[in-house]
A and B are shown apart, each in its own frame.
Chain A
């Protein structure tokens, strides 16, 4: 119970950081420019994860300034960053409880800020399994997320799915840490 509360709190604060960070595109862009390019090119899985931290942590500092300057833009090119990815178990496409929580938050973002945006749900798998089967599995994952968003009130006609199977891993690496990050559905605002 305590553990769930902590995860819940952690995910809420993560979400707050994320939305705050992304609401402020200027700040995010500046932060990215400051990061030395060398660090960006090093694509070790652990680094990739760490890299997102500074952006999220520093963004809120400038948040007040920017939200005063510009109100939230609903058609922003980096709008996909508002959404958290949803993760899956190996060879599974059913939604875990944590995935349902994330989808609820994503649905909130869509309903409140992007009610008319076209959103594509990308289904992905880890590198294990056959590439062909993984294309079908990735689609199944994207459709699980799609169905759940629709039950939460998101308009079906605004949601589409595409599967990349194992072709577009989020992180490289051949261990459970990398695999867990790659078994996911991502949400992208499309034109």
Chain B
């Protein structure tokens, strides 16, 4: 992203004092959901461009509502308060309207240069929770608003949100399957490949700067690596047969993938340049779809060695293979949560698939989706959300939900089908 952001934490002392005193209890059982007012940004310019600036409050309210932590709504300021110090704000109207929190912002947009300052207030205790100031260009408005939504989650829970991250996916917008990248909320979709062939299974590098994918552009399903910032694209693995389901190790040094050069699909690791292939599975069955544990010590994968595809877990050197999924006759698409405590996967249920999560020890197997057919789960960097591909009556495409299955929302838009979403790291 061509963006030079200057992040200035204003009033750092008051923010850190707040952090020490403990986070707001937003998830305690029995508590009512806290209400957050998001006021449209106020202009500091003589001739304000309020229409485009309204994006900022829309973005923050959308992100906060998806998080499920608070119920956010856009709410125009009732008073003509000027200035930011809590002492200068009349909290009474916000309090009487039932709000617990308030997000205010002031911006200046001159010759394409954007300066915007956000503040989150605790309405009940009449104090500032956190504040940020961002500098950029006009087109950075969505991004900086997402960045402040990340800060709100940090202030409320101690962990940043994933709202500045992106989702790569397969789109048939151009008539064939190409890799696209979009903001997590579906905005700014951009084609990454334009080769007119079949392109499948994107996977981000841990630094988010490159994408692995399988392409038939040289008439074999080969694995490629592509930069997001330029058009540099290199073949990583072009073995005879399948070079599929590539997955970058968390430290970025290795790639796990399935190769069929030995006769049937087997799991290998290779260097990120394709060097040093190491075979991990030796089995006459199909082994594919490796997914790294966040510590890089284990891999979940799909194998039909017992007849039907099931999810197994092994050490990163191929030792200690254990079957993970016991229920269901067809389980695929493992995706390890960033905290390592859960593995999401898709199970064939009736005519289609549904997303499940299971603990790495096989306990707590839980179904998260029930509507239509849902595949290819991928966790957000903070483990709060899962993106997945869905076919359902309310519309096909890339969906996002919270890790407990709540708040399912379609995020991809535009022509064609959208499949195989994968969420970037921060």
Contact = CB atoms under 8 A, between A and B. Distances in A.
A130 B260 contact: no
Contact of B353 (A130, A140, A162): A130
Interface in B168-191: 177
Interface in A145-178: 161-164, 167-168
Interface-centre pick from A140, A164, A168 (highest chain B CB count, 10 A): A140
Chain A interface bracket (under 10, 10 to 19, 20 to 34, 35 or more): 10 to 19
B169 to A, nearest CB: 13
A130 B309 contact: yes
- Specify which of B265, B302, B351, B375 lies most central, judged by the most chain A CB atoms within 10 Å of its CB: B265
B221 A163 contact: yes
A158 B330 CA distance: 36
B176 to A, nearest CB: 9
Range for the number of chain B residues in contact with chain A: 20 to 34
Given A136-B242, A140-B264, A162-B220, A131 B288 contact: no
Given A143-B263, A163-B221, A163-B242, A133 B177 contact: no
B229 to A, nearest CB: 28
A39 to B, nearest CB: 21
B57 interface: no
A91 interface: yes
A77 interface: no
B221 A131 contact: no
Given A161-B241, A163-B221, A139 B332 contact: no
Contacts of A91: 308
A129 B289 CA distance: 14
A132 interface: yes
B258 interface: yes
Contacts of A164: 198, 216
B332 A137 contact: no
Contacts of A48: none
A111 interface: no
Contact of A130 (B198, B220, B258, B375): B375
A64 B346 CA distance: 57
Contacts of B309: 129-130, 133
B346 A167 contact: no
Given A133-B332, A164-B198, A139 B375 contact: no
B330 A135 contact: no
Interface string B238-263: 00011011000000000000101001
A180 B30 CA distance: 53
A131 B219 CA distance: 18
A163 B244 CA distance: 11
A136 B266 CA distance: 10
Given A162-B219, A167-B177, A133 B288 contact: yes
Contacts of B264: 136, 139-140, 143
Nearest to B245: A132
A163 B198 CA distance: 12
A166 to B, nearest CB: 11
- Which of A129, A130, A163, A164 has its CB near the most chain B CB atoms (within 10 A)? A130
Given A130-B309, A132-B289, A132-B302, A139 B265 contact: yes
Given A91-B308, A162-B220, A163-B242, A129 B288 contact: no
A135 B332 contact: no
Nearest to B219: A162
B348 interface: yes
A136 B200 contact: no
Interface in A115-132: 128-132
B115 interface: no
Interface string B391-426: 000000000000000000000000000011000000
B286 interface: yes
B201 interface: yes
B333 interface: yes
A164 B351 CA distance: 22
Contacts of A132: 201, 244-245, 288-289, 302, 332-333
Interface in B317-353: 330, 332-333, 346, 348, 351, 353
Given A132-B302, A163-B242, A140 B286 contact: yes
Interface in A40-77: none
Contacts of A163: 221, 241-242
Nearest to A160: B240
Contacts of B220: 162
B200 A131 contact: yes
B290 to A, nearest CB: 11
A137 B353 CA distance: 18
A167 B215 CA distance: 12
A137 B332 CA distance: 13
Given A140-B286, A163-B242, A164-B198, A133 B263 contact: no
Given A133-B304, A143-B263, 18 more contacts: A129-B309, A129-B332, A130-B289, A130-B333, A130-B353, A131-B200, A132-B201, A132-B289, A132-B333, A135-B200, A135-B265, A135-B288, A136-B286, A137-B286, A139-B264, A140-B264, A161-B241, A163-B241
Interface of A: 91, 128-133, 135-137, 139-140, 143, 161-164, 167-168
8 contacts: A128-B351, A129-B309, A132-B244, A139-B264, A140-B264, A163-B241, A167-B198, A168-B198
Sort A-B residue pairs by CB-CB distance and give the 10 closest, nearest first: A136-B265, A130-B332, A136-B286, A132-B289, A167-B198, A132-B245, A133-B309, A136-B288, A135-B244, A133-B332
